[in-house]
Amino acid sequence: MTKGIDIAWARPDVDGIKATGAKWVARYFSNDPTKDITEAEIKAYTAAGLAVVTVWESGAGAALKGRAQGVSDAQKAVAQRKAVGLPDSHPIYFAVDQDTTWARVSDYFAGVASVLDRQLVGIYGGYKIILGADNAGYQFLWQTVAWSNGIWHPKADIRQVGGTVLNGGADIDDSMTFDFGQYPDPTPPVQEDEDVKTTDLINIAPWEQKQWPTDVALKDGKLQFGNAVGSTYGHSRAAHEGVDALALKVDALAKQLTELAALVTPKK
């Protein structure tokens, strides 16, 4: 879990942001240029080691206006993403800023997903919205304490926990997963190799709860592999990165074990 803050109109400098303990900052795309993130800000944030999350917010009732509104908002958000130099692979959250149900906003997000790759559509809202979005297969979920009645959805990538910093100019958030839609794209940590014995079953897991387990064992002088690499559990960006990192690790391990097997297997 890492702390972040989301900022609309306030313009604290990088030192002020880092002084709050934040490791990332969420900023806006919208119809209001005075609220929107700029390319210069993104460069300043990332140069200081701060990751960036983006969210489209055009008004409290926008998500209730149906598919056409979703298409329009997504087209504007994608254009603004390009204008500030963020890559096409960068997810964008879309805000539902009121207490409502998923049924009333699902058409809006269908419109968003017709413009923006569905795997990159993030959704911000209260518990009922996050629950519905998860059931509908959306993967980037940002839940606010508002309209949640004290219930946190277990798959929320970000929790807006309540409270502010910077004299009320920024809301406090916690990221709950390794990949929560931030820029730059997260790089999975590489685990250090442990001592290996020929009779051991080696379990390799790239990171946290987003795992693609692969079991490798040396039995009767032969390499045996257990669970297949390539489960799609987790976000698509993390899945590809995790499988690639894991494949390299398995290849190196397989080579070592094969060499070892040649040494310990009796010749016939």
Instruction: Break the chain into its structural domains and give their ranges.
Output: 2-175, 202-264
Please report the pLDDT score of residue 125 as a whole number: 98
134 backbone dihedrals φ, ψ, rounded to 5°: -65, -45
pLDDT per residue of the chain (268 residues) written in tens, 0 to 9: 999 999 999 999 999 999 999 999 999 999 999 999 999 999 999 999 999 999 999 888 999 999 999 999 999 999 999 999 999 999 999 999 999 999 999 999 999 999 999 999 999 999 999 999 999 999 999 999 999 999 999 999 999 999 999 999 999 999 999 999 999 999 876 665 555 444 443 443 443 344 444 444 544 544 444 444 433 334 655 554 555 556 667 667 767 776 666 555 544 4
Q: Which amino acid is at 129?
A: I
121-125/140-144 β-pairing? parallel
pLDDT tens digit string along 150-175? 999 999 999 999 999 999 999 999 99
Please report the pLDDT score of residue 236 as a whole number: 52
Q: Which amino acid is at 268?
A: K
Please report the pLDDT score of residue 255 as a whole number: 72
262: its two tokens: 């040649």
Helix (H), strand (E) at residue 248: helix 236-264
Among residues 27, 26, 24, the alpha carbon closest in space to that of 3 is found at 24
Please report the pLDDT score of residue 196 as a whole number: 44
Among residues 71, 50, 190, the alpha carbon closest in space to that of 121 is found at 71
pLDDT tens digit string along 73-90? 999 999 999 999 999 999
Cβ atoms of residues 30 and 60 within 8 Å: no
Q: Which CATH superfamily groups domain 2-175?
A: Glycosidases (3.20.20.80)
Cβ atoms of residues 41 and 27 within 8 Å: yes
Please report the pLDDT score of residue 184 as a whole number: 97
Please report the pLDDT score of residue 216 as a whole number: 47
Please report the pLDDT score of residue 123 as a whole number: 98
143: its two tokens: 């839940």
pLDDT tens digit string along 7-34? 999 999 999 999 999 999 999 999 999 9
Q: What does the DSSP 8-state code read for residue 228? A: P
